[in-house]
Amino acid sequence: MKTNTLKSLNKGPNTNLALKSGILYLIAEMITRGISFLITPVFTRILPPAVFADAKIFESWVYLIAPVISLSLYQSMARAKFDYKERYGKFLSSMLFLMMIITLGVFIICVPFSEIFENILGFEKGLLVLMLAYCLAYNGIQCVQLYDRQLLNYKRNVALTLLGVIPGVVTSLFLILCFGSKVSENALLNMRIVGFFLPTTLIGFFLIIHIFVTEKFFINNEFFLYGIKYSVPLMATAVASQIFFQSGNIIVRRVVGAEEAAIVVVAMTVGYIMDILIHAIDNAWKPWMFEQLNKGEIIDVKKFWRFLFLGVAFLVWLLTIFAPELTLFLGGAQYTSSIVLISPILCSSLVNFLMIGYTSMEQYYKKTKVSGIASVISAIADLMLSYIFIRRFGYQAVAYTILVAYIIACIVHFLFMKKYEREDVLQVKMSMGIILGTFGVCMATTMLYGLSFLIRFLMVGALFIILGLIFHKKIMEKVKVLIKKKY
């Protein structure tokens, strides 16, 4: 690993390897998330709605807490590559050690107050211990994956992506199918949670130990201060991202009920597909973007951003037109009420992609405090809007409050970043125009739900052919530029 690291740092990543790494990472993400997507309809059918909703709420708490107890130190890996070069491997080991110490400290502090946390989170002590352990393992895996992405070590990166999901899905499904009919709902919930989260926890612990043994490096005050200063503002960004997608489930569960929360979960699952995809795209292109910005190739970054943003907008519309079939596939007839929620939720993913773009820019320019401030403002707005409008208009309001909150976040990011980044790399007017256009097209598309699946499928096929004939030359030019361009 060290030899490859030194070669990558000394020579810099070549474009072919960057493209190969990015494509393989995207494929691995699509496989693992595809498995999660395909298994969702199984769980919606074999689990009672309350158990299905509570398992998702446990997951919501996990991904809300994970960035907090790690201070999001893994975020520092993206920029540390340029600042520490030959010491990059030691920086990784140091961040893992600091995350372990923080997690252990949180555990020791929380033990005397375990009953309070049981009441707040709604889960028994054993599951809360698993939650904390999983958070450490998950953060460790994130840290190593960001390290590997920056150095284009795509083999381990892809392997960790697959191992992060597949063992948990297989184990939880096996336990429920074999023993689910013989136990109470509470035991069924435990099987679903433990079966999914325990395998990844063990894999994460093994990975952390492997890095410690390989690097033999733990404590460095310079690394600690760098990681904390860079990452803590991004902790707010990570938490806000989870609040946007997870808080709605929790608020609906508490304010309205379990069955309505399950309906929201099904709709959010479709949005979660886009959320995973846009994060995968960001992780795949971010190393390339950082290198291009470092070389002053602003025009290339702008052109490729337009290409990416239009592509994501098209995917949003594509999922929107097949929302009825996605809902029936994921939950069956009992969850058809979620269909009307999918379009605004998918449009919010497009706005989220713009917000992620700003966050990446802030990471490059080391203006992570901007990310923190913008995230806190938008997260508070989302929580307030969700609570007020869910109580006033019902659970359907959650689909629109998340969209408004993301727009607020993008406005705040833009207002702060225009002081530091005058090139307008993300071309805010163009991006907002695409967002508004996509929202209008998607809402109009919902009127086509009365047509059969076959007719809508043929319409999409015809559109693909037309767009292919019109834009195939431009698409091939973009791909050739990305392949041939040398850093």
Which mean pLDDT values do the consecutive 10-residue runs of the chain (487 residues) have? 43 50 60 66 75 80 83 79 79 89 88 78 83 90 81 73 80 82 79 88 91 85 85 76 69 75 79 78 76 78 86 89 83 77 89 87 78 79 84 83 86 81 81 91 86 85 78 63 47
Question: What is the per-residue pLDDT for 9?
Answer: 43
Question: What is the per-residue pLDDT for 485?
Answer: 45
Distance CA 443, CA 401 (A): 16
Q: Which residues of 74-110 are buried (b: 16+ CB within 10 A; e: fewer)?
A: bbbbbbbbeebeebbbbbbbbbbbbbbebbeebeeee
Question: What is the per-residue pLDDT for 97?
Answer: 92
Do 26 and 281 form a contact (C-beta atoms < 8 A)? yes
Nearest alpha carbon to residue 34 among 329, 420, 405, 456: 329
Nearest alpha carbon to residue 30 among 244, 255, 284: 284
Nearest alpha carbon to residue 208 among 159, 280, 145: 145
SS3 state at 90:
helix
- CB-based burial label for 367 (10 Å; 0-12, 13-18, 19+): middle
Q: What share of the chain is helix, strand, coil (3-state, %, to 5)?
A: 90, 0, 10
SS3 state at 145:
helix
Do 177 and 109 form a contact (C-beta atoms < 8 A)? no
Amino acid at 319: L
> What length is written for the chain?
487
Chain Cα centroid distance, residue 262: 21
Distance CA 409, CA 407 (A): 5
Chain Cα centroid distance, residue 434: 22
Do 291 and 40 form a contact (C-beta atoms < 8 A)? no
Question: What is the per-residue pLDDT for 10?
Answer: 43
Nearest alpha carbon to residue 246 among 70, 379, 136: 379
SS3 state at 390:
helix
Q: Is the dihedral of CA 448, 450, 451, 453 positive or negative?
A: positive
Do 68 and 235 form a contact (C-beta atoms < 8 A)? yes
pTM, full prediction: 0.66
